[in-house]
Amino acid sequence: MVRGVIRTVSNTNVVFWRGMLLATKEDGPPFAMDPVTLETVGRYDFEGQVESPTFTAHPKFDPNTGEMVCFGYEAGGDGHDGSCDIVVYTIDKHGVKTEECWYKAPFCGMIHDCGLSENYLVLPMTPLKCTSVENMKNGGNHFAWDPNEDQLYGIVPRRGGKPEDIVWLRADNGFHGHVAGCYENSDGHIVFDLTIASDNVFFFFPPLNTPSSTLSKRNALTSPTYRWILDPSTPTNTRITPSSVFDINGEFSRIDDRFVTKKYNHFWQVQIDPSKPYDFQKCGSPAGGLFNSLGHFTWDGREKDVYWAGPTTTFQEPVFVPRGTSSADPKSEPEPAPVEGDGYLLVLLNHLDELRNDILIFDALELAKGPIAAIHMPFKLKLGLHGNFVDQRDIDAWQLLRKEDGEVGPVRKAERPLKWQVALEKEGVDGMNGTMLE
């Protein structure tokens, strides 16, 4: 292995930001892509403003302000050495960094997703702990599940944060999934909703000195949706219990993104329904999880609207698309107040017996009626994790701004190496060449 070369594969999520696609994976920096050609532009550091070696796969976008709020964990050193550092950034709609604060975690654990309210960022830290550098040098795993450790929730202010401001709240052991919604109630407390599995989802990262478990055991886990009411003024290390549990077994929650930071009611998930038949003979074991149903749920009435596509299919993560989506041209007029859930749900359907995929389009509030359209993909897609919808009108508007003579100009890839690369270069380590920026 060549030291000094960024090793992330940037294959967890892709988001649209100021005329570019950002490919992200939390063990490294983001990489910019052309949204039309999908060609790689290069490592993106927000024009020299973001120096963390790691960057979340789930940045949050405030629809009210146009800000991106993002973070990196294991953010000290080279991003692979068990650092307990967490950095939180805010980038405004003009691409300018307005907030940066570094915090310490009680241990180095995975923080895959986050919740954004009007005034706070919530960081759920899973007890999947980074092992020692010595263990990794000897060929051991980067992470190890700790069944005796709590799940933690770090709360930090969105504006004016200081290192001492972080509050860590503790709850019984569990494995965090993905966040649905996050907002503040009338008391100023944070309502935070996410799926939590009953045991280690990443069976390939077992506890130290323990053999890996099996895919079948992972597929047997339950993953309800938990609602937490978090008080930002609570002392650190206070133990908390969930406010309520929505007893559905699913993952990859999505909401109407126009309601990020706001009180919301509707959310969508892929579901695991063992009562539905699955054809193991034709399809084999579902490596990506037995997500055989697609569900729409409401918090107020605990309504369940579910669609099942058949015994040889599974779903990938859905995405909500507002009806009549208009251009996000920075100069466009404000849109009228949105009606939550008024739009479509897009989802990839895996035909595991035929090794092909469809994109199904639903009325977002009437899934059980079945799709209103289907796009038959001309090629097979691998089982993936995340995705997002980008309106062509948004791409067109930004293409004009991103021209050589445009108002914003072309996307500029990172020009400076990361701090840990500079340190290696001073030591004269091999590998310090142009590849470190790609």
Please give the average per-residue pLDDT across 286-315, as a whole number.
Answer: 93
Residue 333 pLDDT: 62
Residue 1 pLDDT: 53
Residue 385 pLDDT: 83
Those residues whose C-beta lies under 8 Å from the C-beta of residue 275, and which sit 6 or more positions away, are: none
Residue 435 pLDDT: 43
Supply the DSSP symbol for 80.
S
Q: What share of the chain is helix, strand, coil (3-state, %, to 5)?
A: 10, 35, 55
Residue 383 pLDDT: 86
Q: Is residue 207's pLDDT more than 50? A: yes
DSSP string computed for 176-224: EEEEEEEEE-TTSPEEEEEEEESS-S-TTSPSTT-----HHHHHT---P
Going from N- to C-terminal start, the domains of the chain cover: 1-104+403-438
Please give the average per-residue pLDDT across 340-363, as a whole number.
Answer: 97
Supply the DSSP symbol for 334.
P
CB-CB contact of 201 with 219 (8 Å): no
Those residues whose C-beta lies under 8 Å from the C-beta of residue 139, and which sit 6 or more positions away, are: none
pLDDT in tens, 144-177: 999 999 999 999 999 999 999 999 999 999 999 9
Q: Is 425 helix (H, G, I), strand (E, B) or coil?
A: helix
pLDDT in tens, 14-63: 999 999 999 999 999 999 999 999 999 999 999 999 999 999 999 999 99
pLDDT in tens, 313-341: 999 999 999 998 555 555 566 667 899 99
- How far apart CA 59 and CA 61 sit, in angstroms, is 7
Q: Please report, in angstroms and rounded to a whole number, the separation of the first and last CA atoms in the chain.
A: 16
Residue 353 — φ and ψ, nearest 5°? -80, -25
**Least confident interval from 81-95, 302-316, 322-336:** 322-336
Residue 433 pLDDT: 37
Q: Among 54, 191, 58, which residue's Cα sits nearest to residue 119?
A: 191
Q: Is residue 68's pLDDT more than 80? A: yes
Residue 438 pLDDT: 41
The pLDDT-based confidence of 194 (bands split at 50, 70, 90) is very high
Reported pTM: 0.93
Q: Is residue 437's pLDDT more than 50? A: no
DSSP string computed for 83-131: --EEEEEEE-TTS-EEEEEEEE-SS-EE----EEBSSEEEEEEEEEEE-
